């Protein structure tokens, strides 16, 4: 008897958690990410530098480090 009640409660709680998670992520998107994206577009910012059509590639050149041991000593 208790087992049936417990399993039913787990199913209900999982549905509530699923809805609540989507609701919270949607609110975060609408209140934080969407306004920031609008401000970036309004002021012409391109943090990923993807809008330059004259570039042949969007890869950034990286200088190789001298040795793996030196890199591992100064990792942070």
Residues 6+ apart with CB under 8 A from 47: 40
**What's the length of the chain?**
76
Q: Is residue 2 part of a domain?
A: yes
Report the alpha-carbon angle 29-35-40, nearest 5: 120
Instruction: Provide the residue range defining the domain that includes 32.
Output: 1-48
Q: pTM of the full predicted structure?
A: 0.53
Can you give the pLDDT at residue 61?
Answer: 82
Q: What is the residue-level pLDDT of the chain in tens, covering all 76 positions?
A: 899 999 999 999 999 999 999 999 999 999 999 999 999 999 988 887 777 777 778 787 887 766 778 778 877 7
Q: Is residue 26 part of a domain?
A: yes
Q: Is residue 13 part of a domain?
A: yes
Q: Is residue 64 part of a domain?
A: no
Can you give the pLDDT at residue 16?
Answer: 97
Give the chain's domain count: 1
Tell me how far CA of residue 8 lies from CA of 1, 2, 5, 26, in angstroms.
11, 10, 5, 27
Q: Is residue 10 part of a domain?
A: yes
How many Å apart are CA 71 and CA 63, to the nearest integer?
Answer: 13
């Amino acid at each position: 008897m208790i087992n049936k009640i417990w399993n039913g409660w787990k199913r209900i709680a999982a549905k509530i958690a699923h809805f609540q998670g989507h609701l919270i992520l949607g609110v975060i998107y609408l209140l934080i990410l969407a306004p920031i994206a609008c401000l970036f577009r309004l002021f012409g910012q391109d943090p990923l530098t993807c809008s330059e059509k004259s570039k042949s590639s969007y890869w950034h050149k990286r200088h190789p480090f001298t040795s793996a041991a030196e890199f591992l000593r100064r990792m942070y």
